[in-house]
């Protein structure tokens, strides 16, 4: 049995946790914040009991936590303790729950928690002044009790016992991906593992308790598979030392590193804030003032880290946390110094924009001030891009000045209307031009950062294909990202130097196709190489779109994609291979789960007037995602499959190696494309089961790209 215990009072929390743990060997997980409760709840395989002390004036947040946890753990029982009159909250108590005064004897609480009670009785409420007096029932009795299932992890500390049961693999870890993480409950010196969080690369991440001072910390551990690899161990410790160099109040600190017989690990500050990843997933939104404060505080921190010349990972929602004062704190993502992998200032600014845009509320979107700022930050707007922190700070100050000078919170757009239409608009544009002048001057060249070795291993086994069919596939490797302009340029350069440039062509490639240069290649490659704008025609008007070498290559037909894959020693994925990599073993409808969320992918929410297929309807909940056209293939983590393959729901559709009969041309076979694109506005087209039949293999589009697969692991990185 697993119990989650929430109390903001450290003394009461510790005493109650010891009392519950002392009654049985059951696992008790204490938590000091509601955010920590959410994180623990998402990482656990089973949870039977929630004990929560209701904080004053925030009681409803605890009941909402209970509702959320019950969606994942339907058998969850909840006991609420309050310093107020319990009758005030009786309407929020559900069958099987209990609501008692906070002053009740701890032994009474333990009696309720352990052992599991008999079949639930009507909700009991202890009167505040009559110990143990039961208030008459107000909630129907459950028909029968459900016996809790066994815990997913062993409770004992890791020990070399011959009859120790096999350690089960926690959610989020592929059973085929090496040794499982250490089980929850394991003690490593002064630390006890409370919850498994995630696995990435060579490390496992946990929430742990530093028992001597009752402090919860983030704990990053070298995976058990790599314990004996000297080079990997040295790299892991070098990473810890690099992150320990960071000294900034809005970046999580590194505490200490330990090398024990059981594990090599280091501990970090556990940020007590709301993660952007959670905010986006749960649909929480920010108004204009709050969103600008978020941008300002994050920009100040990232700018300070850049001034310290510290190499960092690209900032993603999982790295950002919203604190109670409205500012942002960053996870520590400083890396061992590798100059070739340093992220450019402009790229980090674009990433920040994409993290914030899904959080804007409807009023902020309608007023346009912040969306326009974010579009300029991401390089997808109609204005010049903001490419330096200094330029961004000037834009923020300009907006703050405008808001301060306007009565009733008017935005620059509204002011233009009120003070005389075009005249006001001209004044505002002049101010904006002055604010972004330094950004124009500071524009830099693009640099390709996606390598051919960035491939994901898809383990062998069955998966759910299309509408429930069980399909088994062998092991294969698939590109983590769509093929970029920079990667495709290397292919064309290699062909130009090859004595036999036709060596990679498909045997059936038509004679009229002379090479593999997409239409207008010279112009759009040059624009991408220098991060300049490229004109395209959109709905009867010409627009200048800023390109980058890390955007997906487009305007490639099936013959081009085949030749590129052959040149790289691979092939185009079959529909089944593409779908398994996108949906995972459980057959998710979308990369992130089974519910549509238009803020998670680069889709058509930024194109309110884009056409849709005849007979189709625009999806409910469609909203802007912060990117008008293409985005860099590694621009954000939201559109990520269970196997960590990126961009399969949006950005651009992708060619596959599968062909089938054209619906309107009997006997004529054509290749199939999969995945949505930046104009996708219909719910069914965002689903990973959606199939797109091409008109012919020579079809090209601004909406189509591709990625490749290999049957063997990729060779070392090349650029």
SS3 362: helix
Whether pLDDT at 220 is above 70: yes
What average pLDDT does range 234-240 have in this prediction?
89
pLDDT given at position 116: 52
What average pLDDT does range 339-368 have in this prediction?
80
Which of left, alpha, beta for 667 (phi over 0: left; psi -120 to 50: alpha)?
left
Q: How far apart are CA 527 and CA 279, in angstroms?
A: 35
DSSP assignment string, 164-205 = PPPPPPPTTS-TTSSSPPPPTT-EETTEEEEEEEEEETTEEE
Q: For residue 30, give every residue at least 6 positions away whose Cβ sits within 8 Å of its Cβ, in sequence order, or none.
A: 5, 6, 7, 13, 14, 17, 209
Q: How far apart are CA 342 and CA 335, in angstroms?
A: 9
Q: For tokens 């800023």, what's the residue?
A: 546
When mean pLDDT is compared across 169-173, 359-363, 680-684, the lowest value belongs to 169-173
Strand order in the sheet with 2-6: 27-31, 2-6, 49-53, 77-82, 98-101
Contact 623, 673 (CB under 8 A): no
Complete domains list, the chain, with CATH: 2-113 (3.40.50.2300), 187-269 (3.30.200.20), 274-441 (1.10.510.10), 455-499+519-710 (3.90.1580.10)
Whether pLDDT at 278 is above 70: yes
**H/E stretch holding 109:** helix 106-113
Whether pLDDT at 651 is above 80: yes
Whether pLDDT at 647 is above 80: yes
pLDDT band at 167 (very low <50, low <70, confident <90, very high): low
Contact 81, 51 (CB under 8 A): yes
What average pLDDT does range 338-345 have in this prediction?
69
What average pLDDT does range 315-325 have in this prediction?
89
| Triad 596, 602, 605: Cα angle to 5° | 70
pLDDT given at position 206: 92
Q: How far apart are CA 122 and CA 138, in angstroms?
A: 7
What average pLDDT does range 580-600 have in this prediction?
87
pLDDT given at position 27: 76
Contact 602, 705 (CB under 8 A): no
Contact 163, 234 (CB under 8 A): no
Whether pLDDT at 156 is above 70: no
Higher-confidence residue of 383 and 48: namely 48
When mean pLDDT is compared across 135-144, 194-203, 288-297, 533-542, the lowest value belongs to 135-144
pLDDT given at position 443: 42
Burial of 605 (0-12, 13-18, 19+ CB in 10 A): buried
pLDDT given at position 8: 84
Listed residue (681, 608, 679, 593) closest to 639, CA to CA: 593
What average pLDDT does range 433-458 have in this prediction?
63
DSSP bridge pairs for 257: 266
DSSP state of 243: H
595 CB neighbour count, 10 Å cutoff: 11
Whether pLDDT at 341 is above 60: no
Whether pLDDT at 407 is above 70: no
pLDDT given at position 452: 87
**What beta strand segments (E) does 41-145 contain?**
49-53, 77-82, 98-101
Are β-strands 49-53 and 653-662 bridged in parallel, bridged antiparallel, or unpaired? unpaired
What average pLDDT does range 279-301 have in this prediction?
90
Does the pTM surpass 0.75? The reply is no
The rounded Cα 610 to chain-centroid distance in angstroms is 27
pLDDT given at position 434: 38
Contact 384, 393 (CB under 8 A): no
pLDDT band at 158 (very low <50, low <70, confident <90, very high): very low
pLDDT given at position 596: 86
Higher-confidence residue of 123 and 281: namely 281
When mean pLDDT is compared across 73-77, 541-545, 612-616, 692-696, the lowest value belongs to 541-545
Q: What is the dihedral sign for C-alpha 227, 231, 236, 238? A: positive
Whether pLDDT at 74 is above 70: yes
Cis link prior to 315 (omega < 30° from 0)? Answer: no
Averaged pLDDT of the chain:
80
What average pLDDT does range 380-394 have in this prediction?
81
Between the CA of residue 589 and those of 45, 592, 697, 704, what are the distances in Å?
22, 8, 27, 21
Whether pLDDT at 100 is above 80: yes
Listed residue (582, 575, 576) closest to 479, CA to CA: 582
Whether pLDDT at 463 is above 50: yes
DSSP state of 236: H
Higher-confidence residue of 17 and 349: namely 349
Q: How far apart are CA 348 and CA 342, in angstroms?
A: 10
Which of left, alpha, beta for 535 (phi over 0: left; psi -120 to 50: alpha)?
beta
pLDDT given at position 133: 35
Q: How far apart are CA 606 and CA 625, in angstroms?
A: 7
Whether pLDDT at 182 is above 70: yes
Higher-confidence residue of 155 and 668: namely 668
Q: Six-digit token pair at 337? A: 């110094």
pLDDT given at position 717: 56
Listed residue (560, 553, 563, 531) closest to 482, CA to CA: 553
Q: Six-digit token pair at 267? A: 């501990």
Strand order in the sheet with 320-322: 274-275, 320-322, 328-330
Percent over 70 (pLDDT), the chain: 82
pLDDT given at position 438: 36
Q: How far apart are CA 167 and CA 196, in angstroms?
A: 13
pLDDT band at 49 (very low <50, low <70, confident <90, very high): very high
**H/E stretch holding 671:** strand 665-674
pLDDT given at position 411: 41
Q: For tokens 């007037």, what's the residue?
A: 609
pLDDT given at position 160: 42
Whether pLDDT at 172 is above 80: no
What average pLDDT does range 71-96 have in this prediction?
85
CA distance between the termini of the chain: 51
Instruction: Let me know how long the chain is.
Output: 719
pLDDT given at position 408: 43
What average pLDDT does range 48-70 have in this prediction?
88
pLDDT given at position 61: 86
Contact 40, 4 (CB under 8 A): yes
Q: How far apart are CA 55 and CA 80, in angstroms?
A: 10
For the stretch 206-209, contacts whose Cβ atoms lie closer than 8 Å and that sit 24 or more positions apart, written own/partner, are 206/181, 207/36, 207/39, 207/40, 207/43, 207/270, 208/267, 209/30
Helix axes 389-405, 422-441, angle to 10 degrees: 160
Q: Six-digit token pair at 399? A: 């907006």
Q: How far apart are CA 521 and CA 651, in angstroms?
A: 19
For the stretch 361-367, contacts whose Cβ atoms lie closer than 8 Å and that sit 24 or more positions apart, written own/partner, are 361/285, 361/286, 361/287, 362/285, 363/287, 363/288, 364/286, 364/287, 364/288, 364/291, 365/623, 365/624, 367/288, 367/411, 367/413, 367/414
Higher-confidence residue of 206 and 401: namely 206
């Amino acid at each position: 049995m697993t119990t989650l215990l929430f109390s903001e009072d450290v003394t009461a929390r510790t005493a109650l946790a010891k009392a519950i743990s002392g009654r049985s060997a059951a696992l008790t997980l204490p938590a000091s914040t509601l955010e920590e409760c959410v994180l623990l709840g998402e990482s656990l395989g089973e949870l039977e009991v929630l004990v929560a002390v209701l904080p004053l004036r925030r009681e409803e947040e605890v009941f909402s936590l209970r509702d959320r946890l019950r969606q994942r753990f339907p058998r969850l029982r909840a006991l609420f303790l309050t310093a107020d009159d319990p009758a005030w909250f009786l309407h929020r108590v559900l069958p099987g729950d209990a609501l008692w005064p906070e002053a009740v004897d701890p032994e009474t609480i333990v009696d309720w928690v352990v052992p599991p009670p008999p079949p639930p009785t009507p909700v009991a409420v202890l009167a505040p002044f009559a110990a143990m007096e039961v208030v008459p029932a107000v909630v129907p009795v459950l028909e029968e009790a459900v016996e809790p299932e066994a815990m997913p992890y062993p409770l004992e500390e890791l020990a070399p016992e011959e009859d120790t049961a096999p350690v089960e693999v926690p959610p989020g870890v592929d059973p085929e991906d090496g040794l499982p993480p250490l089980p929850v409950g394991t003690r490593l010196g002064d630390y006890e593992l409370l919850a498994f969080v995630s696995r990435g690369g060579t490390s496992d991440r946990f929430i742990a308790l530093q028992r001597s001072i009752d402090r919860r910390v983030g704990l990053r551990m070298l995976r058990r598979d790599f314990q004996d690899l000297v080079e990997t161990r040295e790299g892991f410790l070098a990473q810890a030392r690099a992150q320990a160099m960071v000294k900034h109040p809005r970046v999580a600190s590194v505490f200490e590193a330990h090398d024990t017989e059981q594990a090599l690990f280091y501990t970090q500050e556990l940020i007590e804030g709301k993660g952007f990843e959670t905010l986006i997933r749960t649909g929480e939104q920010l108004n204009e003032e709050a969103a600008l404060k978020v941008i300002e505080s994050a920009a100040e921190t990232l700018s300070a880290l850049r001034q310290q010349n510290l190499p960092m990972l690209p900032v993603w929602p999982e790295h950002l946390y919203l604190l109670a004062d409205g500012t942002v704190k960053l996870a520590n993502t400083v890396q061992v110094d590798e100059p070739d992998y340093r992220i450019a200032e402009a790229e980090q600014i674009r990433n920040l924009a994409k993290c914030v845009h899904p959080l804007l509320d409807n009023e902020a979107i309608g007023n346009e001030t912040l969306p326009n700022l974010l579009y300029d930050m991401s390089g997808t707007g109609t204005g010049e891009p903001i490419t330096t922190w200094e330029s961004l700070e000037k834009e923020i100050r300009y907006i703050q000045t405008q808001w301060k000078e306007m009565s009733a919170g008017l935005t620059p757009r509204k002011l233009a209307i009120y003070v005389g239409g075009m005249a006001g608009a001209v004044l505002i544009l002049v101010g904006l031009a002055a604010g972004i002048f330094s950004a124009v001057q500071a524009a830099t060249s693009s640099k390709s950062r996606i390598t051919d070795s960035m491939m994901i291993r898809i383990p062998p086994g069955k998966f759910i294909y299309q509408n429930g069919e069980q399909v088994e596939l062998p092991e294969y490797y698939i590109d983590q990202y769509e093929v970029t302009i920079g990667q495709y340029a290397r292919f064309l350069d290699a062909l130009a130097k090859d004595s036999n440039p036709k060596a990679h062509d498909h045997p059936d490639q038509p004679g009229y196709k002379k090479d593999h240069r997409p239409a207008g290649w010279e112009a759009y490659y040059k624009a991408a190489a220098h991060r300049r704008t490229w004109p395209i025609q959109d709905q009867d008007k010409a627009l200048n779109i800023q390109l980058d070498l890390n955007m997906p290559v487009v305007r490639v037909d099936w013959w081009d994609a085949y030749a590129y894959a052959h040149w790289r020693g691979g092939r185009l994925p079959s529909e089944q291979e593409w779908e398994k990599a996108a949906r995972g073993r459980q057959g998710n409808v979308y990369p992130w789960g089974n519910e549509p969320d238009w803020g998670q992918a680069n889709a058509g929410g930024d194109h309110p007037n884009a056409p849709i297929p005849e007979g189709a309807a625009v999806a409910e909940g469609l909203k802007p995602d912060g990117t008008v056209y293409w985005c860099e293939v590694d621009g954000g983590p939201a559109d990520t499959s269970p196997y960590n393959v990126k961009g399969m729901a949006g950005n651009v559709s992708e060619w596959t190696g599968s062909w089938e009969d054209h619906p309107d041309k009997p006997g004529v076979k054509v290749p199939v494309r999969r995945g949505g694109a930046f104009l996708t506005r219909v719910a069914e087209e965002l689903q990973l089961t959606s199939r797109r039949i091409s008109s012919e293999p020579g079809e090209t589009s601004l909406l189509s790209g591709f990625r490749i697969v290999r049957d063997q692991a990729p060779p070392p990185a090349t650029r």
